[in-house]
Structure 1
């Protein structure tokens, strides 16, 4: 996929660019991701924080405690409510882009699953991916597996 990656909210009020390659992509099955996505899971594309540039609009934010107990700043469109990004206080140099908000999602191939203990029974968890029962203590294996993809 060629840079920059582009994306935005459903109503088009907020647009963004990602100007450096992604670090990893994973699926999260925690209860909060299920709620925020109105689905069985959420997808997070981890990128360097400085690589994300808002080119139109201004997201609103609210802070919540994650299932892991850590604090997460959630950024979303104040008009349509689309969740765009998660900033984590424990990782200030990276940001998780909610991958479904990208204009082109055809190149996305998750390398892992987090919080599999909360996965819906109809979700098939591949043993070819890195799978974690909860929050992994070390995310570097997810980054390494991403680098090894074709």
Structure 2
């Protein structure tokens, strides 16, 4: 499946290939911290299929909880996180941040990883009232 994506300001755009059910949720503490959220959802792109059609992302290389070096790609203008991939430039496999993918509604996570770090309240999220807009 061909997918496209961009950062919030539109400075960076990309296209990639991915299998339709190739989405994961990561609960590791690094993903919580780097996303400023309770988890991070990603779509795994086919190896070597990501092409940046506009702009060049900035990268920050960190050491993951697994010990692997991971390059974190983001827009240097608006700060949108776009992906994580191996630090080496050859043979990159991208975990594209689902919120930046245009076709995000077509993907459903097939697994959750680093579940020992899951925030306890996520198990009861379906019990929290939901509103169409901000409640008055």
TM-score range for the pair, normalised by the shorter chain length: 0.7 to 0.9
Maintained 8 Å contact 1:47/1:95: yes
Matches within 5 A, 1:1-150: 3-21=1-19, 24-89=22-87, 92-124=91-123
Distance in 2 separating the partners of 1:61 and 1:45: 18
Alpha-carbon offset, residue 38 of structure 1: 1.4
Alpha-carbon offset, residue 93 of structure 1: 4.4
Cα distance per residue 1:103-145 (max 9 Å; x no partner): 23211210111111111111139xxxxxxxxxxxxxxxxxxxx
Structure 2: give runs of 5+ residues left out of the alignment: 125-136
**Structure (1 or 2) with the larger CA radius of gyration:** 2
Distance in 1 separating the partners of 2:111 and 2:17: 23
Distance in 1 separating the partners of 2:61 and 2:92: 17
Structure 1: give runs of 5+ residues left out of the alignment: 126-150
Say which structure, 1 or 2, has more relative contact order (CA 8 Å, 6+ apart). Answer: 2
Cα distance per residue 1:70-92 (max 9 Å; x no partner): 11011110001111111125993
TM-score, normalised on structure 1? Answer: 0.74
Alpha-carbon offset, residue 20 of structure 1: 4.8
- Number of aligned residue pairs: 123
